[in-house]
Amino acid sequence: MWGRTLLMEFRKSWRGFAIFILVVVIISAGMAQLFPVISEAFEEEMEELEGMEYVHLEVEDEIIHLSWVEVEDAVEYVVIEDRHPYMMMSREVNRTDMNRTTIPHPEDEVRYFAVKYLTNDSAEMPLGMASTVEPTDPMEELMDTAFYRMFTAGRADVTFEEMEGFMSVELYSWWILLVGVYLSYLSVKSITEDYEERRMDVIFSTPIPRKQYILEKFSALALFTLILVSLSGSMLMLSVRAVGEPGGWEFLVSLLISWPMLMVIIAFSMLFAVVTQSSRKAVGGSFAVILIQYALFMAGHMVESLEPVLPFTISYYWDYNSVLLDGVVYPLHLLLLVAVAGVSVFLTVFLFQDSDIPA
C-alpha cells in the first residue's frame, strides 16, 4: 500500500529531522541578524592605513626609503610587504634594530608595507603601515580578487554593504555543505540501516514492490527537504525584515530553488546505498561526490582555465545569485536538476530491482 514506507520514514527519523531543521533554521535566520553590524563596518569610509602616522615612506630613483618612529622597548623591527592592503600573502623584507631601511622598487609597482616590532619578551607588536600609492580599503580590494569570487559564485557585484551580497557569501555559498552533507547521510542511512539492522527480509516478505520501496524512501526525503528549505527560507525572510531590510521574498525563493539540487544529492546518496549496501562506503562515496563537485565549483570561479568544469557541477545550476541580485529564476536549470535526480532514482530502482538482499 502506497505511503506506508514514506510515513514510517518520518516516524522512525522524526527526532533527527526536527533537530536538523532547527539547526538550519537558527543558522539561516541568525545570519541575517549579523548583517547590521557587518554592513556598518563596511560603510565606514577607509581613509587611511592602520598606524600610517608612525611609518614614513618615500620613493626616490627606484629605491623606497622606509622609516618609522622608534619604540622604547623594541629590540628589533620586522618589515613585511604585499601588493594588496589586506596583506594575506605578505613576505618579510627586512629585519633590523634601526628605525629605517631601504628597499628596491621597480617602477610603478604597488607596494604595501607593515612594520612590526619585537619586545624583550619576544612579543610581536604592530607598529604601522605605509604604501607607495593612495591606500584603498583592504576589504574592497579583497572582494575584487579571484579568491573572493569563489564565494560569490563568480559574481563581481556582490558586496557586504547589502543584505543580498552578505547572505550570498555567508549562507548561500556554503548551503550545500550545511544541508547537503547531512541530507546525504540521512539518505544513505534510510536504506543501509534496513540492511544493517536486518529489516530488509521482513520488509520484503510483505507485498511491497522494490520500486515502490525506493520511490517512497526518496519521496520521504524529498518531502522532508522541501519542509526544511521552506521553513529555513521563511524564517530567513522574516529575519531579514526584522532587521529593517525591505522585501525578503528573494531570500525565500532562492532557498526554495535549492530543492532540486538537494534532490539530486538524495538520489545520488540512495544510489550509493543500494550499490554498496554499506553505510560506511555509501556515506564516504556520496560525501566525496558533494565535496569534489563543491571544490570544482569553487575552483571554476577562481581559476579561469577551470571554468569549463562548472557545467559538470550541480551547484552551477542553483542560481541563487540570479534571484538575490537580479530577481531572475532560470527554470531550465531547475528542470535539468530534476531530470538528473530522476535518472539517478531510475538507476537506483533498476539496480535494486534484481539485487540480492544480503542475509
Q: Which residues bind other proteins (CB under 8 A)?
A: 1, 4-5, 8, 11-12, 197-209, 354-357, 359
**Considering only CA atoms, which of 225, 221, 230, 326 is closest in space to residue 28?**
230
User: Cα(242)–Cα(7) distance, rounded to whole angstroms?
Assistant: 36
Q: How far is the CB of 278 from other proteins (least distance, A)?
A: 16
Using the minimum distance from each CB to other proteins, give the nearer residue, 132 or 212.
Answer: 212
Query: Do 249 and 237 form a contact (C-beta atoms < 8 A)?
Result: yes
Q: How far is the CB of 209 from other proteins (least distance, A)?
A: 6
Question: Interior CA angle at 79 toward 75 and 80, to 5°?
Answer: 140
Q: How far is the CB of 190 from other proteins (least distance, A)?
A: 12
- The residues with which 303 forms a beta bridge, in sequence order, are none
Q: How far is the CB of 15 from other proteins (least distance, A)?
A: 8
Question: Phi and psi of 74, rounded to 5°?
Answer: -80, 135
Using the minimum distance from each CB to other proteins, give the nearer residue, 99 or 348.
Answer: 348
Q: How far is the CB of 347 from other proteins (least distance, A)?
A: 18
Using the minimum distance from each CB to other proteins, give the nearer residue, 134 or 356.
Answer: 356
Distances in Å between the alpha carbon of 251 and those of 38, 139, 171? 18, 24, 11
Q: How far is the CB of 194 from other proteins (least distance, A)?
A: 9
Long-range contacts of 14-18 (CB under 8 A, 24+ apart): 16/186, 17/186, 17/224
Using the minimum distance from each CB to other proteins, give the nearer residue, 4 or 95.
Answer: 4
Query: Do 312 and 322 form a contact (C-beta atoms < 8 A)?
Result: no
Using the minimum distance from each CB to other proteins, give the nearer residue, 30 or 209.
Answer: 209
Q: How far is the CB of 197 from other proteins (least distance, A)?
A: 5
Using the minimum distance from each CB to other proteins, give the nearer residue, 126 or 209.
Answer: 209
Say if residue 80 is exposed, middle or buried (CB neighbours under 10 Å; 0-12, 13-18, 19+). Answer: middle
Alpha-helix runs per DSSP H in the chain: 4-43, 138-143, 146-149, 163-170, 175, 181-196, 200-203, 210-242, 249-256, 259-276, 279-302, 320-321, 331-353
Q: Which three cell numbers stand for residue 264?
A: 539530486
User: Cα(228)–Cα(262) distance, rounded to whole angstroms?
Assistant: 11
Using the minimum distance from each CB to other proteins, give the nearer residue, 12 or 280.
Answer: 12
